[in-house]
């Protein structure tokens, strides 16, 4: 993701735990890694030069990308570094791997995606090449009966393959010619060699590719191509490919689908099986499950776990700082008094990222992705599935609830982007007392709503938009806008363009003077908007080129009510007294900051890769 930055500059800092910048007097502390996932899912099995079995997995963290092998005889790990196949922030992108007929490991890694071979006998990594310079994302892979290794790629829906027998890699060309279609996830190959590849996600398509002659055809009838997403496919016991989509189950052929025919999934082979032995996963105790003839034993490994990326550091409640991670979306806290880090696990409705956590007198409300979920969590009560946390809503057709606020009517609000490939976000309103909710979709035509602020003077919510939709969507609008939402009337009552030509507006914060300070996302411009007079009263330039997520702290802080943000290696502050914006501190540790908030004691807490960091804000004079 574009959220992750190089950590080399912080190596000395992390070893020491604390560093002080002599120029600014800022002391930066490393508080530790809130979430370390000790489990690891194995993918396939090979044999080394001595014939010993080795199970393999992918390791993807903010600082390390590798293929990890675990020797079944002694539990020791082998690490095959793949960091060099791409630059931060995106280096791996859902590594796919197989053990081929020659006994070696083959994988698709990096950005752009490339096939690599790891010779398990000679312990040598071989770069087989990049079949598509555009390939930046993929999900799933397939192995044909002849051993060829297929991947469907994003954003051009290209089908690529590797022949382990020869080392040849090929780009078989684009499947869909519809520019709105970007994804080609989870291809499947029938026993007669036809490759079936779902395509989406603006709408569902299903392509059949014949490797014998290169022919390709979209085989879904028009009546099944309107739903957002992509079909799900699997191989049946008869070696044919079956699927389901838009309420229909069907059999795939090279020219069409036969609706009504289905079969249970039946893999051609189990990549985690070697003879009568089947490898499981590494559990939380670092033990690898191994089954033979129905009996399971465990091999203690030296795998130490995978630290997870901090995505958000959002709020303070009862002396604790709360935030969340990405991939998976675990919630965590840091106790200001004791320094204890607590990993609550994956308690949010969205499994991928926790975008925001807001403190309410009742407890915490957590917004997460994907889709767009809001959950209520009482951190003073035990975690109990279905009880605490409690799911409030998961919106169909929407995702990325970036920011939560409490509106002037004491309701909780968040905006969303639409699902992948689509345009038109939503505004969600949740009653924090009874957890009922209302949703208004596409209130600003074909635009997403990322940031919002409460305007108690007028009983309105101020929101800003982006012309972008869900991932891969093609925008139709020319510029984004600011709008005012009347909470009583339940409708948009005003729109404006504070910075004409802006395509995405970022953070908005209401200052103590009642004015709203906003950012042109991705740039260094800001504006000041008077929600009562309904006009822009000032525009300015930030002292940094761009800001890091979430760009600005949600509320002003300190005796002068400064609005703080992070960008480059700097802490910036906007002063509502004169609308000035300046750098108040710099430190190398801030170069990788992502997700941040300010505690009541003036400490700035932020994520840096998998580490939670903090520093004291300079005194306001």
Residue range 25-41, pLDDT digits in tens: 589 999 999 999 999 99
- CATH for 308-616? 2.130.10.10
SS3 338: coil
- Sign of the torsion angle spanned by Cα atoms 140, 188, 147, 52: positive
Contact 198, 186 (CB under 8 A): yes
Decide if 558 contacts 276 (C-beta within 8 A).
no
Predicted pLDDT of residue 620: 81
CA 314 to chain centre: 17
Contact criterion met (CB below 8 Å) for 599 and 571 = no
- Nearest C-alpha neighbor of 611 from the set 325, 316, 364, 336: 325
Q: Average pLDDT of 272-284?
A: 94
The per-residue pLDDT for 8 is 34
Q: 92: pLDDT confidence band, cut at 50, 70 and 90? A: low
| Residue 80 pLDDT greater than 60, yes or no | yes
Q: Which two tokens stand for residue 216?
A: 């390709």
Q: Which two tokens stand for residue 327?
A: 């991939």
Mean pLDDT computed over 293-298: 93
User: Tell me: the pLDDT tens digits for 332-360?
Assistant: 999 999 999 999 999 999 999 999 999 99
- How large is the average pLDDT for residues 206-229? 96
Domain regions of the chain by residue span: 146-274, 308-616
| pLDDT band at residue 46 under the 50/70/90 scheme | very high
The answer on pLDDT for 227 being more than 50 is: yes
**Token output for 161:** 């393959």
Question: For the sheet containing 273-274, what is the strand order?
Answer: 273-274, 277-282, 287-292, 295-300
* CATH code, residues 146-274: 2.120.10.60
Rounded Cα gap, residues 418 and 447, in angstroms: 9
User: What integer is the mean pLDDT of 15-31?
Assistant: 62
Three-class DSSP labels, 251-290 = EECCCCEEECCCCCCCCCCCCCEECCEEEEEECCCCEEEE
| Tally of helices (H runs) and strands (E runs) in the chain | 1, 57
Average pLDDT over residues 68-96: 85
Q: Is the pLDDT of residue 17 over 60?
A: no
* Segment 377-420, tens digit of pLDDT: 999 999 998 899 999 999 999 999 999 999 999 999 999 999 99
The reported pTM is 0.90
284 falls in which pLDDT band (50, 70, 90)?
Answer: very high
pLDDT band at 160 (very low <50, low <70, confident <90, very high): very high
Residue 59: name the closest of 218, 238, 282, 367 by CA.
282
Q: Looking at the chain, how many residues does it have? A: 621
Q: Exposed (0-12), middle (13-18) or buried (19+): which is 1, by Cβ within 10 Å?
A: middle
- Predicted confidence band of residue 181 (pLDDT cuts 50, 70, 90): very high
C-alpha 24/C-alpha 6 separation (Å) is: 22
Instruction: Report, in angstroms and rounded to the nearest whole number, the Rg of the chain calculated over CA atoms.
Output: 26
Query: Whose CA is closest to 116, among 167, 187, 59?
Result: 167
- What's the confidence (pLDDT) of residue 25? 59
């Amino acid at each position: 993701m574009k959220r992750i930055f190089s950590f080399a500059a912080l190596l000395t800092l992390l070893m020491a735990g604390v560093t002080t910048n002599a120029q600014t007097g800022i002391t930066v502390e490393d508080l530790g890694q809130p979430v370390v996932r000790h489990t690891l899912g194995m993918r396939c099995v090979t044999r080394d030069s001595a014939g010993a079995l080795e199970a393999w997995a992918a390791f993807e963290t903010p600082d390390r990308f590798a293929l990890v092998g675990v020797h079944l005889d002694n539990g020791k790990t082998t690490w095959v570094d793949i960091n060099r196949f791409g630059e931060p922030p995106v280096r791996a992108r859902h590594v796919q791997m197989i053990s081929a007929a020659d006994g070696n490991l083959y994988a698709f890694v990096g950005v752009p995606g490339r096939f690599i071979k790891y010779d398990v006998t000679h312990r040598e990594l071989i770069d087989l090449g990049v079949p598509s310079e555009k390939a930046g994302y993929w999900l799933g892979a397939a192995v044909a009966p002849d051993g060829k290794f297929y991947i469907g790629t994003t954003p051009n829906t290209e089908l690529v393959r590797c022949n382990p027998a020869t080392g040849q890699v090929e780009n078989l060309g684009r499947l869909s010619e519809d520019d709105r279609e970007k994804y080609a996830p989870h291809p499947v190959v029938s026993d007669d060699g036809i490759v079936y590849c779902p395509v989406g996600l603006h709408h569902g398509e299903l392509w059949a590719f014949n490797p014998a002659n290169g022919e390709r055809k979209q085989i879904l009838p028009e009546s099944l191509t309107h739903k957002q997403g992509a079909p799900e496919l699997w191989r049946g016991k008869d070696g044919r490919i079956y699927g389901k989509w838009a309420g229909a189950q069907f059999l795939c052929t090279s020219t069409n689908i036969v609706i009504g025919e289905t079969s249970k999934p039946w893999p051609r082979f189990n990549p985690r099986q070697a003879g009568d032995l089947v490898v499981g996963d590494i559990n939380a105790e670092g033990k690898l499950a191994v089954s033979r003839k129905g009996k399971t034993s465990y091999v203690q490994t030296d795998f130490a776990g995978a630290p997870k990326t901090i995505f958000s550091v959002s709020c303070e409640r009862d002396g604790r700082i709360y935030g969340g991670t990405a991939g998976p979306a675990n919630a965590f806290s840091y106790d200001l008094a004791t320094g204890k880090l607590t990993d609550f696990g994956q308690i949010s409705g969205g499994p991928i990222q926790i975008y925001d956590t807001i403190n309410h007198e009742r407890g915490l409300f957590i917004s997460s992705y994907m889709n767009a979920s809001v959950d209520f969590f009482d951190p003073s009560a035990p975690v109990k599935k279905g009880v605490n946390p409690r799911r409030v809503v998961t919106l169909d057709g929407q995702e990325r609830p970036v920011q939560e606020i409490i509106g002037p009517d004491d309701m909780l609000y968040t905006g969303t982007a639409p699902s992948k490939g689509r345009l038109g976000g939503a505004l969600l309103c949740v009653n924090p007392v009874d957890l009922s909710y209302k949703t208004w979709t596409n209130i600003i035509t074909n635009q997403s709503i990322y940031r919002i602020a409460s305007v108690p003077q007028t009983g309105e919510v101020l929101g800003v938009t982006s012309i972008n939709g869900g991932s891969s969507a093609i925008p139709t609008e020319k510029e984004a806008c600011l709008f005012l939402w009347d909470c009583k009337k339940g409708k948009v009552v005003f729109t404006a363009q504070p910075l004409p030509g802006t395509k995405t507006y970022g953070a908005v914060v209401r200052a103590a003077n009642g004015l709203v300070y906003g950012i042109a996302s991705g740039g260094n411009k800001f504006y000041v908007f008077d929600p009562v007079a309904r006009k822009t009263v000032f525009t300015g330039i930030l002292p940094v080129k761009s800001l890091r997520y979430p760009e600005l702290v949600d509320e002003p802080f300190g005796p002068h009510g400064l609005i703080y943000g992070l960008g480059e290696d700097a802490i910036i502050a906007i002063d509502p007294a004169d609308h000035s914006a300046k750098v108040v501190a710099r430190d190398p540790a801030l170069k990788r900051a992502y997700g941040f908030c300010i505690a009541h004691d003036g400490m700035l807490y932020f994520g840096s890769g998998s580490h939670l960091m903090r520093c004291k804000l300079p005194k306001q004079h």
